[in-house]
Structure formats: C-alpha cells, structure tokens
Structure 1
Amino acid sequence: MARRPRPLPDALGDAFSVEQARVAGVSSGRLRGSDLLRPFRGTRMRPICVDDDTSDDDVSPMMREANALQAEIGRRAQALATVAPPAWVFTHATAAVLWGLPMPLHLLRLVLDGEPRAAIPPRGLDIATLDARRAPRGSGMCGHQLKSTMVSVRSRHGLRVADPAGVWAQLAPLLTIDELIAIGDAIVHIPRRRGMKRGTSRDALGTPAELAAALVAGRREGIGKLREALPRIRVGSASPGETRIRLAVVRAGLPEPDLDVDVVAADGTPIGYTELAYPRWRLLVEYEGDHHRVSRAQWNRDIEKHAACAAEGLTVIRLTSAHAYPSTGPAVRRIRDALQRAGWHP
C-alpha cells in the first residue's frame, strides 16, 4: 500500500513557492511529491479534492465547468504571485476572473485548456509589465507590455491587478460586442445592500465615466468594438442573462425596459425589486438564475413577492436561461405578447 504524503503546514495555504515551503520546514523530497501540482517554475499547489456526492445536480454542466475554471485560474494566480517580481500586474482575462466578472466559457477554456481541435495551445495567465522593455515570459503565462498611462493598478485578494475599467478595454480583442456589453454592465452594476437598500456608485467595480476614460487612454486593439459597446452599457443589469434579454428586446423593436426597479404597493409598502420593468404597462420581467432554484430562502421570497405583485394588479413574467439561451426568441415573444395585452402597440 502506497504511503500517504506527509501533511504540509497549514500556513502555506493552497498555493506557495518552493522557497516559502523550505522556510516552513518542508523537505526537498516532499516538494517532489507526485500529489503536488507545479503550475509555474518554483511554485507548488495542493491538489483539489472533489466529492462527486456533494455536487449540485441543479447546476448546469456548463456552469459547473465555468466555476471550476474560474477557481483554478484564481489558484494559479495566487501561485504565480509567490514568485513574480513585485512590479508584475495581472491583466486581461486573468484580471477579469479575479474581479469576479462574468467571463464567457469559451475564454475561460482558452486560458487553461486552449482549443485542442484547432491545435491552439492554452493562453495561460495574463501578466504584464508596465513601461518595461520586455513582457514576462514563462510556461503557463501570456505576457504583455503595457504603458502605465493605460493601466491603473489595484489590489485584489492581495494581488496586483489592473482596474476593472482597464480590463474591460483589454478584453476587446477577445470578446464580441455583446460580451463586452455584459462585462461593462457587470462593472457598473450597483449591488443592493442588506434590506434591499440601494447602494451608491462606490459599491460598483467602476463607473460609465471610467469605462469611457479607459477607451481613450491610449491606442486600443479592438477600439471599434469598444466604441460600439460603450453606449449600450447600462447601470442596473445584474447578470449576463439580463443584459442578453435587454439587448434582444430593443433589437426586436420593443421598448427598452427600466432596470433594477423598486416595486411598491399602493399604500407605500415595499414589495421588492425586479430586474426589468415596464412601469407604464405595469409589467415586471424577472430573470431567475440558478440561485432562485437552489436557495430555499430565495424561493420562498419569490413566492411572497409574486403574490404581492398580483394583488397590486401587476403582471409578472418569469424567465429562465431556457428563454434566453441559445436563442432569445422565447423571451422576446413572451415580453412582446405581455406588452400588447397591456396596451402597447408597435
């Protein structure tokens, strides 16, 4: 029977450098153990233990894959940071993952897996030097040379990361216009605070003004896509699905919906808020992501909210990803029909 590897000191964390391990008393032999991953030269990572019995069957395979890829990119970034020079900065797709932006699955796959069918190797983690003569080089990395005037460096999870607005501009060569709009929506989104209270622009990752400034900060690859995406970005869209539906209804000739709307009863009692709304036609559109299904508390809140809306004479359309992917046709048809029943005419 194979011997179990000797436990590592908890102080090392999930990812660490060889030098950190040696200082913590880990032997060279233990660092050569087959159970440790070696994402970059001079680094090690603990393996991830996956318990299939605890996987959530309600989460789609694509969502589960995206979550796993995002977690792995974050782990590798922590590993690379242990041996990176202090001036290096995470940028592009890697920075977007670190900021928690909704990255499309195809780009997440490209970072770590590449495109095997097209013989395209993995992109690797995006890391940059500012105002330097040479970009970073090494296995598992995608090096960049950037001007400091085009990047504002911030701290995220203890790492040096390009600011969200700058990351949005950096992603232009890698994403479609609609994907850039979804990323922009996520950056300017102002999350609700406890008790449904509205936040402020300080609660967002960035502002529309910061996106506009990033666009003109210097010569950008994909500038045409950025210019087309910027005026379509809105404050109030909380997910790519909501952005996708909003863009689809406008392109179909329907009125543009209001976003992140407070719903209040006639006597002034707060009912909640809705993702998309047409107040003039007393129509609310709810886009329900996975958390609406898997969270019992959220499910109960939704039932109470929809009952209160019905009591106020409001029509609620409930949409899921099935109405928006792969085609937005079902969502557009349901919204158009409801608007026409409420008195809207094209």
Structure 2
Amino acid sequence: MTRYVLPPVYTRAAADLAELTRAQRASDGVRVTRGAYVSRSVALTTASAARAALAVLPAGTVASHRTAAVLLGAPLRASWPLEFAVRPGVYRARRQRVRVHVRDLTARDEVRVAGLPVTSGPQTWLDLAARLPGAELVAVGDALYRAGHLDAAALAERLDRADGVRGVVRARQGAPLLTPLAASRPESLIRYWLVSSGLPDPVPQQPVVDRRGRTVAHADLGYEQWRIALEYEGRQHAERRQFLRDLDRYSLMAAHGWLVLRFGEDDLDRRDRVLSRVAGALRSRGARW
C-alpha cells in the first residue's frame, strides 16, 4: 500500500504517485484540463478549479479576467474557460477549458486570494473594461471597491500606465462612476442607468434626516433635493423579519416627506421602465433638467 495521501486537488503525476488506476482516477477526479483534477470529495469551485489548473501551467501564471473577478468577489457567474495571464516571453499554453493571455504585469498588478495568484483589482477591472457592457463594468468595479480590492488611488495609478491597452478608454470613462457605497449589483446597475440617461445623478446610500437633522434611515439611492428614495428589494426582503423592518423604514421615510420608489428583480431587464418611473417621480416633485 502507498503512504502517499492524494490531496483533493491534484495532477496526473500525483495520481500516478498515489498509484491510482485509470478507472479510479476517472471515478474520483473531475478533469479541469489535461493533467489537472479536482476530487469529487470536494466542491468544484472557481478556486479549486483554478488551483488545479495552475499546477500544470507555467510558473508565474496568475488567474485573470473573469476568473480573477470571481475570485475577488465580483458579481459575475463562474464560467469556462478559466482565464489566466502570463508575462511576455513565457510560454502560452494551449489547453482545453483554459485561456491564457499575455500581460505585462508588475508586482503591483498581482495579489493573493486564498493562496492563489490573482491579478489585482485595478488590473482585473482594466482587463474586463474591453469586454463588459458599461452597467456590468460599473457593478464589478463597485463590488471590488466594497471588497477592498480597489480604491481610487490604486485604480488611477494603474490607468495612468495603461496607454494603448485595450479597453483603457472605457475604463477611464467608467472610473469616476465607481463607489464603495453601492451595496449590490442591482443598485449599481440602476445607478448607472440613471447617470448615463441624462437624469439627475442619484446619491448612493442617501441619508434620510428628520427635522432635527438626525439620520433616521438610508435609501439605496436618493435625491435629497426632491426627497425621492429608490430602493431595490431582492429575495431577502421577502423574509419576515426583513419585511417588517422594511415596512417600518418606508413608513418612517414617508413620514418625513420622502417618496419611495421600490424596484425588484424583474426591473433589471426593464431599464426604460425604471428610467420612466424615476423621471415621473422627479417631475412630480418639481425637478427640471
């Protein structure tokens, strides 16, 4: 019997060392790419799949693009192929379910997430700027801000040395729109629609104050001048405790003269409806633009 204990993420060489037969390997391991496996005893996640792939890719390879964004906590769905980056001059492997890009990365452009080498928040966001629609790009940037992987100074530094990089123009245009105050992807999407529509710009996490100047609530998005609050309600708002807290908060906001517009999941596919209703609410409060 072998004394070698096969880890949950392993290579073909490790499987051979553990004396797994071909049938055992096929039964136990989910093949990520040639020579890289994740045991069925653990969940197949972006992190475990990336860890397996990195074991058979050239030294210095880092997770990048969409794979990096998922590992950094961005609101993107995990998908194949996994994406990685190597520096110029490094062999760019061609493998099934893996896509390798060439990037001129500095030490500032690489971080570690759960022990995995990953492109930094600014680098990841710049890479995605050439690929994602504007609203989704802002949602990813907001999420990276919230998670502490992005800030204005670090992003400005990366964009300053990105002349000629694909997507840099869109990144520079979108950078001023990012905020760590957006609490979710839907809030980011709605804010982007409003800002890019010609309507007045809403304030994220808008404080609602009483007559004594005390903050009694916060709106997801709001217009203090016209006392209009915009709220996105995800599935968690249907839970009893959250529902009751929402009732109290909305009635409190109304008691202080705020008009509350509430949006849900269906509205994320109805940009024009959202804009029309916000515009109508603004006009009803005397707004002109």
Q: Which band: TM-score by shorter chain? A: 0.7 to 0.9
Unaligned runs of 5+ in 2: none
- Matched-pair contact (CA < 8 Å) for 2:139–2:188: yes
Instruction: Tell me how far 1:157 sits from its aligned partner.
Output: 1.7
The alignment partner of 1:171 has SS state of helix
- Matched-pair contact (CA < 8 Å) for 2:138–2:189: no
Instruction: Tell me how far 1:245 sits from its aligned partner.
Output: 1.9
Q: Deviations over 1:69-120 (max 9, x none)?
A: xx743331132234445422111111011111123x6xx5xx42xxxxxxxx
Structure 1 residues 187 and 32 mapped into 2: Cα distance closer, same or farther (>3 Å)? closer
Which of 125, 142, 150 aligns to 1:185? It is 142
Instruction: Tell me how far 1:337 sits from its aligned partner.
Output: 1.9
In the alignment, structure 1 residue 90 sits paired with structure 2 residue 51: no
Taking only aligned residues, the RMSD between alpha carbons, in angstroms, comes to: 3.0
Q: Which has the higher strand share?
A: 2
In the alignment, structure 1 residue 17 sits paired with structure 2 residue 21: no
Q: CA separation in 2, counterparts of 1:97 and 1:130?
A: 21
Which of 47, 52, 75 aligns to 2:48? It is 75
- The answer for the alignment partner of 1:299 in structure 2 is 243
- Matched-pair contact (CA < 8 Å) for 1:178–1:229: no
Which of 154, 159, 178 aligns to 1:210? It is 154
Paired letter, 2:32? P
- The answer for the alignment partner of 2:282 in structure 1 is 339
TM-score, structure 2 normalization: 0.84
Unaligned runs of 5+ in 1: 1-8, 51-70, 113-123, 190-202
Q: CA separation in 1, counterparts of 2:196 and 2:104?
A: 37
Paired letter, 1:17? T
Q: CA separation in 2, counterparts of 1:320 and 1:217?
A: 40
Count how many residue pairs are aligned between Structure 1 and Structure 2.
284
Q: CA separation in 1, counterparts of 2:134 and 2:195?
A: 15
Which of 87, 106, 110 aligns to 1:149? It is 106
The alignment partner of 1:284 has SS state of strand
Paired letter, 1:36? G
Q: CA separation in 2, counterparts of 1:137 and 1:186?
A: 31
In the alignment, structure 1 residue 290 sits paired with structure 2 residue 283: no
Q: CA separation in 1, counterparts of 2:136 and 2:219?
A: 23
Structure 1 residues 161 and 251 mapped into 2: Cα distance closer, same or farther (>3 Å)? closer
In the alignment, structure 1 residue 45 sits paired with structure 2 residue 18: no
Instruction: Tell me how far 1:280 sits from its aligned partner.
Output: 1.3
Q: CA separation in 1, counterparts of 2:145 and 2:57?
A: 30
Structure 1 residues 253 and 43 mapped into 2: Cα distance closer, same or farther (>3 Å)? closer
The alignment partner of 2:229 has SS state of strand
Structure 1 residues 49 and 83 mapped into 2: Cα distance closer, same or farther (>3 Å)? closer
1:263-282 correspondence runs (5 A): 263-267=208-212, 270-282=215-227
TM-score, structure 1 normalization: 0.71
- Matched-pair contact (CA < 8 Å) for 1:249–1:332: yes
Which of 150, 170, 182 aligns to 1:237? It is 182
- The answer for the alignment partner of 1:115 in structure 2 is none
Structure 1 residues 88 and 287 mapped into 2: Cα distance closer, same or farther (>3 Å)? same
- The answer for the alignment partner of 1:140 in structure 2 is 97
Q: CA separation in 1, counterparts of 2:161 and 2:93?
A: 23
Paired letter, 1:216? D
Q: Deviations over 1:34-89 (max 9, x none)?
A: 35311123322234899xxxxxxxxxxxxxxxxxxxx7433311322344454221
